[in-house]
Structure 1
């Protein structure tokens, strides 16, 4: 078989470089797509089928690059210039690094936990609770969504499944002659509150939010102040929600 010309050698190398840059572009697109989880999935760990498909395709491209490089090496043997040997060595190194990057990307995308919940205190009828001598933990029983099952609708406790930065928001309502006051608490520590003292026999309400860094196992919950009240109905006016922004 006739040895490949210098022109053919350069064309093959350019082809390999084109494959490499195309793969890099695909990785960047996969990362952009992977930053948005789908609400339709209810597993604790979720990676969209599109991203997994792209990763599979990228692995295939890496294998194709390795095959092309090996074929180039077989065809040229020791007959090519030192410069060409150097270029082939650099390409093989780039392929190996790219494979490691793809494996790490796949690990990150498939192992990032989905954590999000939202619940209403009662979510039906119309009921007021309160008047206790001390603070009590509120149990938001009507769950709208609970990805990862980090929120417990039997205790009202959210337990962080991983170390990370989390967002929490809550609202509270009281009617008639009642005054309202609630705290967002973390491990027994009061973080933020909302309250409204009723002086005109009208409905009162309030809301607040916070971003917290939590360790795995930390608990976040809402407490009702001693002596005050909270109301909820089918309109779901008293709520508690939260989600993981990112692990740390």
Structure 2
């Protein structure tokens, strides 16, 4: 309640016209019953306050896990990460495996692949059909698995797309439930 009181007092003073009197904070609190109404009162109707960064930029983040092994993929296919843990901004589509930037910005993407025993799984991070990053994951032993991670920093415009795909046809064997794809806006 104290935080709401401070928030309302601060924004109540800021949004008052210069020639009118400043409202008593208790009156302002009575007129705004929740933080959502307070956000709406200062212009945040389209997106929740919790999805805004300190510089008022829309927060964007996703994190997804592969739940079904996708072996022997062709280079034209996309690697799917079907179980979505987080999708703030709604940019990641688990059915297509594609992230679509909801706003312009600099983004960071990370992906981790666990290759099956005696298999390899080479993947690329692709932005609008252009390779941005790569991840070579291979297991050469009989009793271990090869887990590999990669990341990339990418400048994106709103509605540009990024996804993970196999390099040529080098996506032999992967372990489901141990492979992930995530991304978030930096600024």
Q: Same fold (TM over 0.5)?
A: yes
Cα displacement (A) at 1:187: 0.7
8 A contact 2:113–2:180 mirrored in 1: yes
Count, aligned residues = 154
Stretches of structure 1 that go unaligned for 5 or more consecutive residues are: 1-49, 69-105
Coordinate RMSD, CA, aligned: 2.9
Give the alignment partner of residue 136 of structure 2, picking from 164, 171, 195: 195
Give the equivalent residue in structure 2 for 1:148.
89
Q: Could you report, residue by residue, the CA deviation over 1:179-207 in whole angstroms, capped at 9, with x for unpaired residues? A: 12111111111111111333333421210
Single out whichever of 164-173 and 219-228 deviates more from structure 2. 219-228
Give the equivalent residue in structure 2 for 1:229.
172
Are the structure 2 counterparts of residues 182 and 245 from structure 1 closer, same or farther at C-alpha, using a change threshold of 3 Å? same
Cα displacement (A) at 1:58: 2.6
Are the structure 2 counterparts of residues 182 and 64 from structure 1 closer, same or farther at C-alpha, using a change threshold of 3 Å? closer
8 A contact 2:115–2:138 mirrored in 1: no
8 A contact 1:130–1:227 mirrored in 2: no
Find out whether 1:173 has 2:114 as its counterpart: yes
8 A contact 2:70–2:79 mirrored in 1: no
Find out whether 1:113 has 2:54 as its counterpart: no
- Whose helix fraction is larger, Structure 1's or Structure 2's? 1
Find out whether 1:162 has 2:103 as its counterpart: yes
Give the equivalent residue in structure 2 for 1:214.
156
Are the structure 2 counterparts of residues 113 and 60 from structure 1 closer, same or farther at C-alpha, using a change threshold of 3 Å? closer
Are the structure 2 counterparts of residues 107 and 232 from structure 1 closer, same or farther at C-alpha, using a change threshold of 3 Å? farther
Cα displacement (A) at 1:56: 3.2
Normalising by structure 1, we get a TM-score of 0.54
SS in 1 for 2:8: helix
Rg larger for: 1
Q: Distance in 2 between matches of 1:128 and 1:58?
A: 52
Q: Distance in 2 between matches of 1:190 and 1:205?
A: 21
Normalising by structure 2, we get a TM-score of 0.69
Stretches of structure 2 that go unaligned for 5 or more consecutive residues are: 22-41
Q: Distance in 1 between matches of 2:73 and 2:118?
A: 16
Single out whichever of 146-155 and 109-118 deviates more from structure 2. 109-118
8 A contact 1:130–1:224 mirrored in 2: no
Give the equivalent residue in structure 2 for 1:58.
10
Higher relative contact order (CA 8 A, sep 6+): 2
Cα displacement (A) at 1:135: 4.5
Q: Distance in 1 between matches of 2:86 and 2:115?
A: 24
Give the equivalent residue in structure 2 for 1:8.
none
